[in-house]
Structure 1
Amino acid sequence: MTGKTHIIGGLVACQAADLFLFSTTSGFSYYAAGVAGALLPDICHTHSKIGRRFSVLSKVVATLFGHRTFTHSLLFLVAVNLVFLAFFPEHVAIQRGILIGMISHYFLDALTVRGIRFFYPADVRVRLTRMRTGGVGETFLLVGLVVCIGYLFVAF
């Protein structure tokens, strides 16, 4: 998926979680963290939005792991969560936002032809559909996600 789809997907996931799971109104930092989390797994791709911003780190991660492996895995999700628990335990809203954004990223990339290696280092790909990144299917999905944002905002 492209960066814009991940951003909107992260926002929708955070909005839905905020409404249906947490039953509290979260602030700007929660949603900003959701966007950051939605982009974070693509640090392994040097041409991604986050990869271009942090080019040196992106090149190192891409060299060590390749694309859609470690940073698209349950292992990485747990590692990020542990870092937050150890170093930023008081920032619960930011931790939740980042984790929800990452989960939305995983789900969206699992819809693509390449899928993700969610159980890395095991060489098993999780692939839910065979949508092409940047294709017509992604465009329809993006429009649907934008409609979801509007619906959740107005309805709740």
Structure 2
Amino acid sequence: MTGKTHVMGGIAATVVTVHFTSYEPGLIIAAGAVGSIIPDICHSGSKIGRKFPVISKMVNRLFGHRTFTHSLLFLVLVGYVLTLFTNDQSIIIGILIGMASHLLLDAVTKNGIKLLYPANLTFRFPFTMKTGGSLEKVVLLLLTIVTIYYGKDLIL
């Protein structure tokens, strides 16, 4: 998936979460957007990879693309590290939801993800799509509609 789809996925997932919980809307949604790009630190051409090129290249050399940073292990590790720096649940949950939405979206691509890393098992849905293709544009539109639908009460 492209960066804009990941960001919209993180925003949509956190807006829906806000609709059903009492988390601070501004914090959790912003954290969801940030969290949605974190797994791609392993790709130097990604939004986050271009911002932190040295870290991105190092992570890619150590693990490759869509392995460790696209796993449940990484999700748990980031969650733990976040608790060392903040006890604000809106931030922690938002980042983790954004990251989880990233994993879900990448699992819909042909290459899938190594969800159970270090096990060398590729997880992908039975239906897949090409990154940047027409189906991804439909997914982006649907995520935008979900965001507007569940977020309309936040504006009023």
Q: TM-score range by the shorter chain?
A: over 0.9
Aligned counterpart, 2:67: 69
Determine whether 1:120 maps to 2:128: no
Aligned counterpart, 2:133: 135
State the shift of 1:28 in Å: 2.0
Determine whether 1:18 maps to 2:18: yes
State the shift of 1:155 in Å: 6.3
Structure 1 segments (4+ residues) deviating >4 Å: none
**1:51-130 matched pairs, under 5 angstroms:** 51-88=49-86, 90-128=87-125, 129-130=127-128
State the shift of 1:87 in Å: 3.0
Tell me, in whole angstroms, the C-alpha distance in 1 between the residues paired with 2:52 and 2:25.
Answer: 26
1:88-136 Cα distance to aligned partner (Å, 9 max, x none) = 2x22111011000000000000000001000001111110122100001
- Partner AA of 1:93 in structure 2: S
- Match of 2:92, SS state, is helix
Aligned counterpart, 1:37: 35
Distance 1:47 1:11, change over 3 A: same
Tell me, in whole angstroms, the C-alpha distance in 1 between the residues paired with 2:120 and 2:23.
Answer: 40
Structure 2, unpaired ranges of 5+: none
Aligned residues: 153
Tell me, in whole angstroms, the C-alpha distance in 1 between the residues paired with 2:23 and 2:52.
Answer: 31
Tell me, in whole angstroms, the C-alpha distance in 1 between the residues paired with 2:111 and 2:81.
Answer: 29
Tell me, in whole angstroms, the C-alpha distance in 2 between the residues paired with 1:97 and 1:154.
Answer: 19
- Match of 1:121, SS state, is coil
Give me the identity figure in percent.
48
State the shift of 1:25 in Å: 4.9
- Partner AA of 1:8 in structure 2: M
Structure 1, unpaired ranges of 5+: none
